[in-house]
Amino acid sequence: MRTTITAFTMLAVAGTGMAHEGDVGLVIIDGRIVTGIVEDGPGGEFVIPGERVFAAEMFDFAGDIYADEPGLFAEAGTFPDSQLGFDFASPVQRWDGSTFVSATQTYTLEFGPLSATSPAAGSAPGFGISVGPAGFDEHYDFFLNDPEPGVYLLAIDLWSDDSTIAGADTTYLVFDWEAAPGEHDRAIEYVEDVIIPAPASLAILGLGGAFAARRRR
């Protein structure tokens, strides 16, 4: 278990303007989890479905390279009482300035006492958290292991243990930790302009699946 992230720390991170920025919004369409962006409206936050790529910045917190974004958000009435979970779809990939390549780094995701680390090869199980019809805005703690400055791509598969709800298409998280100026944007543009129009390239990256994306700015 890592250093406990206190309420004070969470407020400090929120004060950077990162809170809710790029959260993974969740809706159920035709019995399947669909991800999207979270927007503010007159009645509160709501989800616009269709987004599958989310970006976040990481911070050095007590020696750990850490982020609590993106979170998971769903409006009231979206999910029944159930477990919402994730699995790692592939190993972490690192941006080399022109493409994503295999990385020696891994990510550990924590939620309270729960913890899972991304695999060195193939896919790997994550864990589930309890959700219900009241809606939720939950945030994992993301830790980059063996960190080096750069941009990292983490692919996860979201699922529900409710038998009536199918899992989402793979969700892609693009993290920046002290990369050179502009590299985060260039990496996301690569995902948008190369990986999306050319799904065959995903086999080379070891990511699997196709996705459509638009970065929140």
Q: Could you give the number of structural domains in the chain?
A: 1
156 domain residue, yes or no: yes
Range(s) of the domain holding residue 194: 7-205
* Alpha carbon distances (Å) from 90 to 1, 84, 110, 132, 199: 23, 19, 18, 28, 15
Enter the pTM of the model: 0.81
* Alpha carbon distances (Å) from 192 to 85, 169, 183, 202: 26, 16, 14, 12
pLDDT in tens, the chain (217 residues): 444 333 333 333 333 332 234 799 999 999 999 999 999 888 889 999 988 889 999 999 999 999 999 999 999 999 999 999 999 999 999 999 999 999 999 999 999 999 999 999 999 999 999 999 999 999 999 999 999 999 999 999 999 999 999 999 989 999 999 999 999 999 988 877 776 654 443 443 444 333 333 333 3
20 domain residue, yes or no: yes
CATH number for the domain that contains residue 15: 2.60.40
22 domain residue, yes or no: yes
112 domain residue, yes or no: yes
Work out the burial of residue 187: count CB atoms within 10 Å of its CB; fewer than 13 is exposed, 13-18 middle, 19 or more buried. Answer: buried
102 domain residue, yes or no: yes
